[in-house]
Structure 1
Amino acid sequence: MDAKQSEVKPGTAPFPSAAPLRKLNLNLLYPLDAILRARNLTEAGREVRLSQSAMSHALRRLREHFGDDLVIHVGGEQQLTPLGLALRPEVQRVMREVDGALNFSLAFDPMTSSGTLTVAASEAVEQMLLGPVLGNLSTAAPGLNISICPLDVARPERALDDGADLLLLPGERTLERLESLPILNDQASCMIWAKHPMLQDCDDLTEAQYRAARHIVARGELTESFPLDAAGAEMLRARHICIRASSQATLPAIIIGSDLVATGSMWLFQHYASMMPLKVVTAPFARRPNQIVAQWPRHRRDPMLAWFVDQIRERRQQYPGALQ
C-alpha cells in the first residue's frame, strides 16, 4: 500500500469504512408503536390520528429504516414479522419512558395530583399487603388510579414489558437492574379449619402428618418461590393434592368444614385466620424466610411512585418481626 494512502490525517476518523449511523425521525415512534400493536393500519392510524395515506407513508419510511417489512398480510390478516415481534416490547418500553419524561413532575400532592400506576404482584401479596393500602387511597390520594396485573414469578421481567411501574416479588426472583426495597419477611406455613378432625390440637405439623394429609392448592400458589431445602421441596412435590382452587381468595371457604391443608404465605393465612374459623400451623419445613421486595426501574424519579412506595413501607410496620 502506498504510504500516502495509509497515512491518516489528524482529526479524521481512522476507520473511514465504518457504517454511518442510521437516524430515525422520532416523530415516527408514535406510528411505529401503533402499527406494532394494532390489528391493521386503519386502526393504528385512528389511534395516532393520522390518515390512511399518512400511515402508509410512515410505514414505508419505517420499512426503509429497518430494512424489514415489519408487518405482512397472511390470509387476509395482518401479522408481525420476526423483527416486528422483537421490536414491539422494546418500542413499548421506549414509549413508556418518553411518556414518563413528558409528564414528569417534581412534586406530587396526593390530595390534588392525579395519575396512574401499574403494580405487578401475586394474588397473595395483593391481598396481604396492597389491599389495605389501596383501600385507603380514596381519602389519601383520590386522584391516583392503581392497576394491578398478575406477576409471573418465574419471569418477572414480563411485567415490565407489559407496562408495570412497580413489582412486588419474592427476593429470590429480584432483577439486578432495578431499584429494590425489602418490604417484609414471609415464610411457608399451613392453614387448616380450626376444628380440623385430626389436626385441630396441633400447632406444628410433623412430616408424617403433612404427608398423610389431603391438600388444597390455588392458582398462582407461591410455594415454589419459598427458599426450601431439598427435604421441604420433596414434601411439596409429594403432597396428595385433592383440590385445585381457582384462587387464593377461595381457600378459606373451601377449607372451613373440611380436613384439607393449604400451604402458603404465613402472613396471608394469619390474615384469614383473624377473621374466620381457621388456624395457622407451622409447616414441617426448615424455617427459612422469604423476603418480599418492591422493585422499580432505576431511571424512575417519579414522586408519585415514591409516594406510593412510602405507603407500602408504612403498611409493612403492621407485620412485627417481618423486617430484616
Structure 2
Amino acid sequence: MDLPSIDLNLLVALHSLLTERSVTKAGETIGLSQPATSAALGKLRRHFGDELLAREGQRFVLTPLATALLDQADTALRYVERTFAARPVFEPRSSDRECNLVMSDYALTVLGGPLLALLEERAPNVRMRIRPVDLAAVDDATALLRTVDLMVLPRGFLHDLPSTDLYRDRWVCVTAVDNHAVADIITQEEFSGLRWILTFNRPTQFTPADHHLQLAGVQRDVDVVIEDFLALPFLLTGTRRVAILQERLARKLLASAGVRVVELSTDLPELVEAIWWQPSREFDPGHRWLHDLLVDAAATLQNPVPAVHLSPPSAHAAAGDTIPEVPTARTEPDR
C-alpha cells in the first residue's frame, strides 16, 4: 500500500459514515457539506472496492466489509488523535483533552464520584469517556491499553504491565434483609445448603473470591450467573439467595437494595484494585496527570468497615476512630 498517497481525512470520513450510516448526518458530525461527504464516500468505495453503505429501503446498512472496518476505523482514529494531541507539557486548567478509562461498574460506583469531583476542580474542560471492562479487556489487555489511557482492574488478572494500587476492599456476603434463613455469619459447612448468585463465571472473567472458593473445592448451589456488580444486590430482594460482593459497593446499596451484609467464616483474599497502562504512555505528561488524579481520588476513600467478630469491639473502635489508610503500592517505573 502506498501510505503517503492516502488522505488521512478519509479516515475521519470513514469513521463518521460507518457510525452514522447516513451521508447527511456524517457530514454534520465532521463539518462537511453533503456534496463533500458524498465525494469522500465515493473515494472510499473506490479504495476498498466495496459499497460500504448499501441502501436497504429508506436507510443505509453496512456491508460485511464495512462492519469489519467499523472497530478498526475507531481504533485507528484514536491512535491518530492521540498522536497529534501529544504536547511537551500538560496544562489541566486549559486542556480540553478527552481521557479514556476502562473500569467495572463496581469501580465506577466506588471511585467515580471522587474522581469527577477532582476533575471538575482541577481540569474543568477535560472530558472523560469511561467504558466497561469486557472479555476483550481482560483477554487482550495489551491491545486495549493502546487505545485507552488507563484501565482499573483488580490484581490477579494482568502481568508484565506497569500498574499502581488504588485501594483495597473486602469480600462480604449479601442477602435480602428479610431472609431470616441466613444468620449473621455463614460457615463453610453452610455454603452448600444455600442458593447463590455468581458475578461472572468464565475462564478469564471471575471474581477473586469466587475463584478462591472454587479452587478450594467449596461446593455451592449456583443457579444464577450475571455479568454485573451493581445490579446484583437488587436481584436478591424477595429471594432466599445469597451472593458475594465487594464491601464498599454492598454498603453503598444496603438501603436502596434492601439487603444486609453477612460475614463469612472463610478467609477470602483481599481485593486490591489497581490501575494499568501501556509502558509507552510513560512519557505523556497528560497520562501522568490522569494517573495522579486517580490516585488522589482513591486516597479520599475511607477504609472498609473491619470484619465483624464475635468478641466485643474495642473502646476506640466503638468511639468511631478512623482506620489509617493503606498506602498505595507502585510497580511502575520511576518517573
Query: TM-score scaled to structure 2, two decimals?
Result: 0.68
Q: Shift in Å at residue 260 of structure 1?
A: 5.2
Q: Render the CA deviation track for 1:111-155: whole Å, top value 9, x for unaligned.
A: 444433232221111122333222333334333333333322x22
Match of 1:106 in 2: 88
Match of 2:333 in 1: none
Matched, 1:208 2:189: yes
- After TM superposition, the structure 1 = structure 2 runs for residues 165-314 of structure 1, keeping only pairs within 5 Å, are 165-174=149-158, 179-184=162-167, 186=169, 188-192=171-175, 197=180, 199-202=182-185, 205-215=186-196, 224-226=206-208, 227-230=211-214, 235=219, 238-239=221-222, 248=230, 251=233, 261-269=242-250, 278-282=260-264, 284=266, 287-300=268-281, 301-314=283-296
Matched, 1:37 2:47: no
CA 1:41/1:140 → structure 2, altered by over 3 Å: closer, same or farther?
closer
Asked if structure 2 preserves the Cα contact closer than 8 Å seen for 1:219 and 1:247, the reply is: no
> Letter of the aligned partner of 1:50 in structure 2?
L
Asked if structure 1 preserves the Cα contact closer than 8 Å seen for 2:199 and 2:206, the reply is: no
CA 1:61/1:113 → structure 2, altered by over 3 Å: closer, same or farther?
closer
Q: Render the CA deviation track for 1:235-276: whole Å, top value 9, x for unaligned.
A: 45x2365x9898626738966x98653312244335667999
Matched, 1:135 2:86: no
Q: Shift in Å at residue 39 of structure 1?
A: 1.7
Match of 2:66 in 1: 84
CA 1:273/1:30 → structure 2, altered by over 3 Å: closer, same or farther?
closer
CA 1:136/1:53 → structure 2, altered by over 3 Å: closer, same or farther?
closer
Q: Shift in Å at residue 194 of structure 1?
A: 8.1
Asked if structure 2 preserves the Cα contact closer than 8 Å seen for 1:218 and 1:251, the reply is: no
Q: Shift in Å at residue 211 of structure 1?
A: 2.8
> Letter of the aligned partner of 1:197 in structure 2?
H
Match of 2:310 in 1: none
Matched, 1:71 2:53: yes
Q: Shift in Å at residue 97 of structure 1?
A: 2.3
Match of 1:48 in 2: 30
Q: Shift in Å at residue 166 of structure 1?
A: 2.8
- Give the CA RMSD over aligned residues: 4.3
CA 1:65/1:180 → structure 2, altered by over 3 Å: closer, same or farther?
farther
Q: Shift in Å at residue 290 of structure 1?
A: 4.6
Secondary structure of the residue aligned to 1:50 is coil
Q: Render the CA deviation track for 1:146-205: whole Å, top value 9, x for unaligned.
A: 3333322x22269959x75432123444487x6543434555431357897355552xx2
Asked if structure 1 preserves the Cα contact closer than 8 Å seen for 2:102 and 2:130, the reply is: yes
Matched, 1:117 2:117: no
The 2-side partners of 1:291 and 1:182 are apart by 7
Asked if structure 2 preserves the Cα contact closer than 8 Å seen for 1:185 and 1:289, the reply is: yes
Matched length: 297
CA 1:22/1:311 → structure 2, altered by over 3 Å: closer, same or farther?
closer
Asked if structure 2 preserves the Cα contact closer than 8 Å seen for 1:216 and 1:261, the reply is: yes
CA 1:287/1:93 → structure 2, altered by over 3 Å: closer, same or farther?
same
The 1-side partners of 2:269 and 2:179 are apart by 26
Say which one has the larger Rg. Answer: 1
Q: Shift in Å at residue 102 of structure 1?
A: 2.9
Q: Note the residue ranges of structure 1 that are not aligned, 5 or more in a row.
A: 1-18
The 2-side partners of 1:46 and 1:126 are apart by 33
